[in-house]
Amino acid sequence: SRVPAFQKTRPAGSTLTRAPPKSGSKLAEIIEKHGPMSAEAMYAFTSMPEDCDDTLEHSYMGVDASTFHLRVGPNYKKKKTKAPSGSALYELVSMDFIQAETFLKDAKDAIELPSIPGVTDVETGNEFVPPMLVVNSWLPTKDHGPLSNGKLEKPSYICVIVFAIEQWVVEELKDIDNASPAVKLLAEWCREAETNVEFRGRFKAIGLVEEMEKMGIPGFITQYNGKPTLITKSGNFTRHEKYIEMAINVHLWAYVARKGMLTLLPSFAKLLINVGFTIEGRSDMELPEVLLGGCRFIRLDPAKAKVDGVHDHDECNGKEDGNAENVGVADLSINEDLDKKLAAAE
């Protein structure tokens, strides 16, 4: 019989390889001297993306925030203007990808979250804004049909991405009255999202597939490429001592969104996919939007996902014991009235 889910916890970043540094690069020198999970390496990964080798299949790296076009003012409601995002508020620390028989309700049940002095333990100066943000997504492994109950636990691909706050954001939090709109919105979201369902639902996920038009992907999927999805009823916010965890249950998305993802899933191993998260700004005082954090999936192969409860050497031997912005097509069937109102604002 199958080993029960989450019998094994793994160090953050151990289920998937981060894109290695190019030979002879400054990044390679820093990692050799300080180690890949050091404060120096985290800063270097963020500031020297050109030094990363993005040819390694089934790996990941940070994203260029400007890849994502987000809302800008003035008067976004009327003008619908978007522009490349400024620097992300959180830097990428690690990503993990696991196949399991159930949902991962708490990331630490499967992942030993990182502890990097000077990165994951910084004092932000704001009681509601933590040094780490964890995004924990549960993706279906197969199509359960349009009437599937997304609340019932099912086999899932679990994707856990860990981010650490950027130092410039910490500095702005110390003078919140004069902080940028994005930092003020971050602080407000961190304060309100635990108890205010509507405000929590401003969290948005964005998937942007590079050169999608060359991949022969159906039009009902390509039309949503790069468009944000509001995470409303499919999101769950949990506050911990040093981090906030945002869980995203894709099983709860509307069927057309789930079907689109499952159609795309077999092609993941051929694709470069930029995934980003932001908080929706609405008034001019909340704009421009800025990326919270992001991750670039490099030909991520679901068939190579680590299987929960299986030892790594057994895996190697083959032994297994939105409402896009058009807003959040994903959650339309879950929170239709709210999403229709938000869509009108787009």
Q: Would the pTM count as exceeding 0.85?
A: yes
| Residues 22, 26, 31: CA angle, nearest 5 degrees | 80
Query: Per-residue pLDDT tens for 26-56?
Result: 999 999 999 999 999 999 999 999 999 999 9
Mean pLDDT of the chain: 89
pLDDT of residue 314: 52
Answer yes or no: is pLDDT of 286 > 90. Answer: yes
pLDDT band of residue 312 (cuts 50, 70, 90) is low
5 against 161, higher pLDDT: 161
pLDDT band of residue 346 (cuts 50, 70, 90) is very low
Answer yes or no: is pLDDT of 145 > 60. Answer: yes
Answer yes or no: is pLDDT of 325 > 80. Answer: no
320 against 70, higher pLDDT: 70
Beta-sheet pairing, 272-279 with 203-209: antiparallel
Query: Per-residue pLDDT tens for 90-131?
Result: 999 999 999 999 999 999 999 999 999 999 999 999 999 999
The structure tokens listed for 253 are 């998305």
Helices (H), 290-335: 312-316
Answer yes or no: is pLDDT of 317 > 80. Answer: no
Are 169 and 163 in contact by the 8 Å Cβ rule? The answer is no
Residues sharing a CB contact under 8 Å with residue 339, sequence separation 6 or more, in sequence order: 230, 232, 323, 327, 328, 331, 332
pLDDT band of residue 306 (cuts 50, 70, 90) is very high
- Which residue, among 304, 302, 334, has the nearest Cα to 316 in the 3D structure? 304
Local structure of 113: helix, strand or coil: coil
**Cis bond before residue 84 (omega within 30° of 0):** no
pLDDT band of residue 6 (cuts 50, 70, 90) is confident
pLDDT band of residue 214 (cuts 50, 70, 90) is confident
pLDDT of residue 158: 97
